[in-house]
Amino acid sequence: MTDPRSGALAASLVKSPISILLAVLLGGAAALINAWPLPLFASAQLMLGAALVMLAVSRLGLVEALLSAAVAGSVIAWQWQHPLPLLLLMLEAAVVWGLCHRGVLLLYADAAFWLLLGMPLLYVAVMVIAPDDPSLTFVVLKQGFNGLINAAIASLLLLMLPSRWWRRVCTQPLFKRGFREKISYVTVLLLMLISMSTMLIYSSYLINSQQQLLLTQLQQDGNRIADNAHRFLGRYLSLTRSAGQWLPNDLAAQQQQLQQLHQQLPQWLTMLVADRTGNVIATSPLRPELLGVSVAQRDYFIEVLAGADQYVSGAFQGQGFGDEIIVAISAPWFDEFGQVAGIIEGSVDLQGMVEVLDPAPDQFYLITDGQQRVVVASEQLGLKPLTPISAGQGQLLHPDSLVQRRQLTAPFALAEEVYQIDYPLGHGWTLQLMQPLQPIMAQAQQQFIIGLGILALGLLVAVAVTRRLCGLLTSPLEQLARQMALPYHPEQSQRPLNSYAAKELQLLQSELTSQRRNLYAYQQQLEQQVAARTKELSEANAQLKKLAMRDGLTEAFNRRYFDISFESYRQHSMRSGQPLLLAMVDIDHFKSVNDCFGHLVGDDCLRTLVQRMNQLFSRENDLVARYGGEEFVLLVPYVGFEAAQQMLERLRLLVAEKPIAVSEQGQPISITISIGAVYADARFSKRQARWLQRADKALYEAKQAGRNRVRLYNLANHDNDVGSHMDSQAQLHSS
- 57 vs 161, which has greater pLDDT? 57
pLDDT at 15: 53
CA distance 184 to 685: 83
CATH fold label, 247-354: Beta-Lactamase (3.30.450)
Span 591-607, average pLDDT:
89
Span 550-575, average pLDDT:
89
> What's the predicted TM-score (pTM) here?
0.53
pLDDT at 724: 47
CA distance 361 to 358: 9
Q: Please state the three-class secondary structure of 475-523 as a single string.
A: HHHHHHHHHHHCCCCCCCCCCCCCCCCCHHHHHHHHHHHHHHHHHHHHH
Active site annotation includes 92: no
Reported confidence tier of residue 397, pLDDT bands at 50, 70, 90: very low
Element (H, E) at 584: strand 580-587
Catalytic, out of 64, 417, 630, 649 = 630
pLDDT at 4: 46
Mean pLDDT of the chain: 79
* In contact, 396 and 402? CB cutoff 8 Å: no
* In contact, 406 and 420? CB cutoff 8 Å: yes
pLDDT digit string, tens, across residues 503-544? 776 777 777 777 777 887 888 888 888 888 888 777 767 666
Reported confidence tier of residue 317, pLDDT bands at 50, 70, 90: confident
Q: Are 4-175 and 247-354 equal in CATH topology?
A: no
- Lowest-confidence region among 282-296, 387-401, 705-719: 387-401
Pairing of strands 311-317, 325-334: antiparallel
Span 602-621, average pLDDT:
91
Which among 681, 586, 587 is positioned nearest to 641, based on CA atoms? 681
pLDDT digit string, tens, across residues 577-586? 899 999 999 9
Span 346-354, average pLDDT:
80
Averaging pLDDT over each range in 344-353, 459-468, 589-598, which range is the top one? 589-598
* In contact, 16 and 50? CB cutoff 8 Å: no
Reported confidence tier of residue 232, pLDDT bands at 50, 70, 90: confident
Give the neighbor-by-neighbor strand order of the sheet with 395-396: 374-377, 364-368, 429-436, 417-426, 403-407, 395-396
Q: Where are the domains of the chain?
A: 4-175, 247-354, 490-543, 559-729
CA distance 284 to 292: 14
Concatenate the DSSP letters of all residues of 166-217 into one string: GTTT--SPP----HHHHHHHHHHHHHHHHHHHHHHHHHHHHHHHHHHHHHHH
- Lowest-confidence region among 59-68, 354-363, 404-413: 404-413
Pairing of strands 374-377, 364-368: antiparallel
pLDDT digit string, tens, across residues 130-167? 777 777 787 788 888 888 888 888 888 888 877 777 66
pLDDT digit string, tens, across residues 114-131? 889 988 998 888 888 877
Specify the CATH architecture of the domain 4-175.
Orthogonal Bundle (1.10)
Reported confidence tier of residue 655, pLDDT bands at 50, 70, 90: very high
CA distance 394 to 705: 141
Reported confidence tier of residue 213, pLDDT bands at 50, 70, 90: confident
- 367 vs 692, which has greater pLDDT? 692
- Lowest-confidence region among 96-105, 440-449, 455-464: 440-449
Reported confidence tier of residue 1, pLDDT bands at 50, 70, 90: very low
Specify the CATH architecture of the domain 559-729.
2-Layer Sandwich (3.30)
pLDDT at 719: 46
Reported confidence tier of residue 58, pLDDT bands at 50, 70, 90: confident
Percent of the chain with pLDDT over 70: 84
Span 401-422, average pLDDT:
53
CA distance 600 to 663: 9
Residue 547 Cα distances to 541, 542, 609, angstroms: 9, 8, 19
Reported confidence tier of residue 319, pLDDT bands at 50, 70, 90: low
